[in-house]
Structure 1
Amino acid sequence: MHYHSIFDIIGPVMVGPSSSHTAGAARIGKTAREIFGRAPNKVEITLYGSFAQTYRGHGTDLALVAGILNLNADDERIVHSLQLAKESGVDIVIKTVAEESDFHPNTAKVFLSDQRGSLEVVGISIGGGKIRITEIAGFKISLSGESPTLLVFHHDRFGAIAKVAQVLACNEINIGHMEVARRSRGDQALMVIETDQDLAEGIIEEVKKIEPVYQVALLNP
Structure 2
Amino acid sequence: MIGPVMIGPSSSHTAGVVRIARAAIRILGSLPTEAVITFYNSFARTYEGHGSDRAIVAGLLGFATDDTRIRTAFDHAAEAGLKYTFQSVGNASTMHPNTIKVQATDARSGRSVEVLGQSRGGGVIRIVEVDGFPSDFSASLHTLIVDADDVPGSIAFIASVIAHDDCNIATMFVSRKGKNDAARQFIEMDSPIKEITLAYLRQLSWVHHITYIPTLD
Shift of 1:10: 2.3
Q: Of residues 161, 185, 188 in structure 2, which corresponds to 1:191?
A: 185
Distance 1:64 1:203 in 2: 33
Q: Distance in 2 between matches of 1:142 and 1:82?
A: 30
- 1:151 partnered with 2:145: yes
Letter in 1 for 2:52: T
Post-superposition offset of 1:169: 2.1
Answering whether residue 29 of structure 2 is matched by residue 37 of structure 1, we say yes
Give the Å deviation of 1:204.
2.0
Residue type matched to 1:88 in 2? A
What corresponds to 1:6 in structure 2? none
CA distance in 2, matches of 1:35, 1:59: 24
Structure-1-length-normalised TM-score: 0.91
Distance between the aligned counterparts of 1:75 and 1:203, measured in 2?
Answer: 33
Letter in 2 for 1:132: R
Q: Deviations along 1:145-170, whole A, 9 cap, x unmatched?
A: 22211111112123322332232122
Q: Are the structure 2 counterparts of residues 167 and 47 from structure 1 closer, same or farther at C-alpha, using a change threshold of 3 Å?
A: same
Partner Cα separation in structure 2 for residue 100 and residue 165 of structure 1: 36
Question: Which amino acid in the other structure matches residue 217 of structure 1?
Answer: T
Instruction: Give the stretch that moved more between structures: 80-89 or 30-39.
Output: 80-89
- SS of 1:191's partner is strand
Contact kept? 1:164, 1:210, Cα under 8 Å: no
Q: CA deviation at 1:128?
A: 0.4
Cα distance between partner residues in 2 of 1:189 and 1:22: 33
Structure 2 equivalent of residue 81 of structure 1: 73
Within 2, Cα distance between the matches of 1:201 and 1:16?
Answer: 37
2:133 corresponds to 1:139: yes
Partner secondary structure for residue 204 of structure 1: helix
2:43 aligns to what SS in structure 1? helix
Q: Tell me the secondary structure at the aligned position of residue 141 of structure 2.
A: coil
Aligned pair 1:50/2:57, yes or no?
no
**Paired residue for 2:172?**
178
Q: Which residue of 2 aligns with 1:104?
A: 96
**SS of equivalent to 1:16:** coil
Kindly, what percent of the aligned residue pairs are identical? 42
CA RMSD between the two structures: 1.4
Give the conservation status (yes or no) of the 8 Å contact 1:163–1:210: no
Alpha-carbon shift at residue 47 of structure 1 (Å): 0.2
Tell me if 1:24 matches 2:24.
no
How far the C-alpha of 1:122 sits from its partner, in A, is 0.2
Read off the aligned partner of 1:75 and give its amino acid letter.
D
Q: Which deviations, in whole Å up to 9, do the C-alpha atoms of 1:114-167 show, x marking residues without a partner?
A: 331321000000010000111011011111122211111112123322332232
Match in the other structure for 1:70: 62
Give, in whole Å, the separation in 1 of the partners of 2:198 and 2:80: 29
SS of the counterpart of 2:48?
helix
Query: Match for residue 125 of structure 1?
Result: 119
- Unaligned stretches of 5+ residues in structure 1: 1-8
Cα displacement (A) at 1:32: 0.6
Q: Distance in 2 between matches of 1:188 and 1:25?
A: 30
Partner of 1:3: none
Letter in 2 for 1:101: S
Q: Which runs of 5+ in 2 are unaligned?
A: none
